[in-house]
Amino acid sequence: MAAVKLPLLGDFPGLRVVVTGASSGIGRESALAFAAAGARVALMARRRPLLEEVAEDIGSRGGEALVVAADVGREREVAAAFRHVHAAFGGVDVVVNNAGLLLPARCDELRAVDLARMLRVNLFGALFVMQHAVRIMRAQAEGGSIVNVASLAGRRGVSPIGGYCATKFALVGLTEALRTELYGSPIHVGLVMPGVTDTPMVQGFSAHEALDGLWPAALTMPTAWVVWAILAAVRFRLVEISVPPGAATLEKLAALVPGLADSVVHWAAEATRTMSELFADGTSADTEPETP
């Protein structure tokens, strides 16, 4: 897979970057993009074989990558991973806090064990990564940058991903609190809020029977849009970026009239299902079997 090229954001020569969830999706593409821009990238995720593939891809392009297998939901593993990165790179300039887990279910059917699994990765994992990154960055005169990848689902709850929304709401609050704690310091804390993006997680999400027709594939964003937002947050030390731009602002406005927003969400979901069904019917009706 080709690395994302973002010439308008310039290069990041020698920047020491840690990317969590780097084995696939947004994390993988972010790692490739930073490496292509000259950064030294530490790849953190649970699946070492996949990380080694990403590292090999980066190396084949002349970049430098360090494989650091760790489960972000286990604080001891996160601590060991950051010690490894610090020993190898001599510090950490950027952390892309991207690891995430989505287990769809209606709220009245959501299992506590599944919510706990999502919280362990999406919230506690993000917290552990932030804490260890801050400890290193506080000792650096130049500070650093932490970019948390949350979701537009962290501003507006929708079904059947209520549990996932809850974890992302919590991550948004945690990020905003850390930002106020570090105000005036050289440590920047940014928040990237993507909508539905073309990643393995979303592809698995779309295959779930409860979500059939909920979101048209044609409206799914390319990963490059989110990667651009992450690099822009680092380059310009931006506090919050929604992808697509303006989406989070609309959600904040919707919070002023939640009843109306509920109606709009319900109507949009029903309209999407209807359009998806019509499109599917039309496609099948227009498709003829191939003859020998």
Mean pLDDT over each residue of the chain, to the nearest integer: 83
Per-residue pLDDT, 153: 87
Catalytic residue list: 164
Averaged pLDDT for residues 248-262: 58
Strand stretches in the chain, DSSP E: 16-20, 40-45, 64-69, 94-97, 144-149, 187-194, 240-243
pLDDT at 129 over 70: yes
The length of the chain, given as a count of residues: 292
Q: Do the beta carbons of residue 163 and residue 105 sit within 8 Å?
A: yes
Residue 64 tokens read as 């430098």
CA distances from 285 to 9, 218, 291 (A): 46, 20, 16
Report how far residue 280's alpha carbon sits from residue 84's, in angstroms, rounded to the nearest whole number.
51
Between 89-93, 106-110, 142-146, 288-292, the lowest mean confidence (pLDDT) is in 288-292
Tell me phi and psi for residue 222, to 5 degrees.
-70, 150
Contacts of 168 (CB under 8 A, 6+ apart): 122, 150, 151, 153, 154
**pLDDT, tens only, 197-232:** 665 655 555 555 544 445 445 456 789 999 999 999
CA distances from 144 to 80, 117, 138 (A): 20, 29, 8
> What pTM does this model have?
0.81
Per-residue pLDDT, 117: 98
Between 108-122, 126-140, 187-201, the lowest mean confidence (pLDDT) is in 187-201
Per-residue pLDDT, 158: 84
Percent of the chain at pLDDT exceeding 70? 73
Report how far residue 119's alpha carbon sits from residue 240's, in angstroms, rounded to the nearest whole number.
22
Q: Do the beta carbons of residue 156 and residue 41 sit within 8 Å?
A: no
Tell me phi and psi for residue 122, to 5 degrees.
-70, -30
Report how far residue 154's alpha carbon sits from residue 205's, in angstroms, rounded to the nearest whole number.
17
Residue 149 tokens read as 């990848």
Tell me phi and psi for residue 118, to 5 degrees.
-65, -40
Per-residue pLDDT, 271: 46
pLDDT at 241 over 60: yes
